[in-house]
Structure 1
């Protein structure tokens, strides 16, 4: 189910995304009761990133209306809504001329929040404009593919400064041996799930080298689709996946009330 500005999307509408690939997005998990954790934060992200990418404001009310229509059409059930913002008139030669923003809404079934622990491979990589959730995913998916070909589930990015930043399509967090939650201080996407967890749990933000990461008591991935997912290993270093702090984080996230669109 995909619409552009509330209307059925055509192949021509999608060609700029396929061929030029300039835009930004957010993905929101909708629970069975229709609630969306962090809805206001997702909308803030879209508005903020529109200013950063295009220098143009975005009407969050339009986004809500188009998402509301799609959910009503779907008729219920847990799902993931992706809202992509782009200008269909943008081209390779004049990307700076873009600014007539359109809203693409797609809906897919949601997977389970509880997933098996994830083994990740550290890779040297920093996303372009990491503070923006943009559609330029080649580098990210190439790193994921390389990690999976090496027998891991995903990639964990390490910058040229030696600091751990984030995962393929998720933020990473750690639990120190005193039980403190540590979020990496590095160029990363400001995740909505991270923001929600920080509102409800104590934490510190600090630079985390790869060596320090491997010396933590536990590690975990977060995003809107998975909530809190333990990491079972970084490279050849294993972690406890049943650490009590991880359970507290999962409970904190599950307890965040959903907002109605």
Structure 2
């Protein structure tokens, strides 16, 4: 097994089963491949608890924020082609970001701002852009929640959402610190602008099709729906540890 300790690999199954037994997960699977050869695989419990359908090798599951590395890879293929560099300001691609402001240190209100440079592509990729998430604490997180700048699949799309985002101040001067953010959602829009394609078209053409990932999409392919794992979410203390979630999810893998 080329560098892997069999005893340590065996621990993975026990760890996964403990999460199921504690009802922290409804079901799960883990696969390790080295040099094109499978080293370890284990699956635990159900992909759908109510129907008791087991988790299997071909189960289709949501990947949520693991879409971020896919988006980052797509951008880097364009960088590799010499179409732009990572120090380019995002305003070169999305003009709405041209005249930016950011909150002053210690700001407690949206009008406590100062001028700042637009974030660069590198800063967007590394969560140092000054952007945030609606669920993050702080003034900007609150503003994003208030204006529903959340980049959800049932919202208006990347272009109008980025324009709405650009109307808000940044949480801090770009490059000055780190905060988990929608920066890579904005990168998705940059990719669309540069290629003239939708983000999914770029993913399929540049990444998924070449890798044979024909069931990784922004919506579940019809042929995979009977293998799609139910999604569960934590409930309030005192209730069941998880319950079926109604939240949409993109893409799946």
The verdict on a shared fold, with TM-score over 0.5 as the criterion, is no
Q: Which structure would you say has the larger Rg?
A: 2
Relative to total residues, which structure has the larger helix share, 1 or 2? 2
Instruction: State TM-score, norm by structure 1.
Output: 0.23
